[in-house]
Structure 1
Amino acid sequence: MAMRWEAFLSQVKERGRYETTEEADRAARTVLALLGAHLVGEVRAELAARLPEGMALLLLNPLQAHEPLSPERFVRATAAWIEGATERTAAWDVSAVLSVVSDAAGEELTRRVLLQLPAGYDLLFGYSRPV
């Protein structure tokens, strides 16, 4: 069952220690749009089904990535999309959002998501070691 929008943003807001829900929403939208560009097929559809509808649409209708971004380039791309962000704040944004995504997905689906991404994304999803 999909997580509710308010619950998703509340968790992102808490983990990212954002002052406003708008900040959490902006981070979530940016990170999910970039993530969606890296996922394909059944894995992307299954993940979308576990996210709130508005977030799922960002995942399902992404910009197409010309090449998979390394975790470092993913963070840099996030920083480029969020006004006033630095690489350090973007890394925080990415981790806040992707750890909530991982919780919504569950361990088995998160493992399949990570298989579609370049090495190193496990840290961005909140895992201290490869899953």
Structure 2
Amino acid sequence: MTFDQMLERVRYDGAYPTRERAEEVVGAVLAALGRQLTGEERVDLAARLPVEAALVFTAQIPGTEQLTGWGFVKDLATRTGGTPATARWDAGAVLASVAQLAGPGLLTRVLAQLPPGYGLLFGRAELTQTAGRQPLSTSCR
């Protein structure tokens, strides 16, 4: 996927009125993700992004404290001057494209590195086990 194709997909998925607006959103979300992701997953993801997107993503220095998915959305809203609802929409529109570029294997590794709450932002269900409940067994006795 080229950067132009990525922008068009984000523009369509996010229902943004212009290519310029889609580019602003892509930049903000990739910068925010760049502040959260470290290690091999960061390097591997950057290699799969279009060059222009990878430059925005890797220009960020990862923070010392990882944010939960909700913290990520709130931080994005603060930095862009938007509402949490708008930031959640923006994150979903961009991270769906990132998930496609990453592929299932790398996306699984990325989500394993990040705190809870990112799965839905990337368009993937996030199942958790409730405390005190045992997983269902598939064996017959």
Calculate the TM-score normalised by the size of structure 1.
0.91
Residue number among 45, 59, 62 corresponding to 2:60 in the alignment? 62
Structure 1: give runs of 5+ residues left out of the alignment: none
**Unpaired runs of 5+ in structure 2?**
128-141
More helix, by proportion = 1
The 4+ residue runs of structure 1 with deviation greater than 4 A are: none
Alignment of 1:105-116 (within 5 A): 105-116=102-113
Q: CA deviation at 1:66?
A: 2.5
Pairing 1:1-131 to 2, within 5 Å after superposition: 3-83=1-81, 85-130=82-127
Deviations 1:31-56 (A, max 9, x none): 11111111112211111111111110
Task: For 1:42 and 1:66, locate their aligned partners in 2 and report how far apart those are by CA, in whole Å.
Answer: 17
- Matched pairs, number: 127
Give the partner amino acid of 1:24.
A
Give 3-state SS (helix, strand or coil) of 1:123's partner: coil
Provide the alpha-carbon RMSD of the alignment: 1.2
- In 1: Cα distance, 2:126 partner to 2:78 partner: 28
TM-score, structure 2 as length reference: 0.85
Question: Which structure's CA Rg is the greater one?
Answer: 2
Question: 1:66-98, CA deviations, whole angstroms, 9 ceiling, x for partnerless residues?
Answer: 300111111111112224x11111100000001
Query: In structure 1, what is the equivalent of residue 131 of structure 2?
Result: none
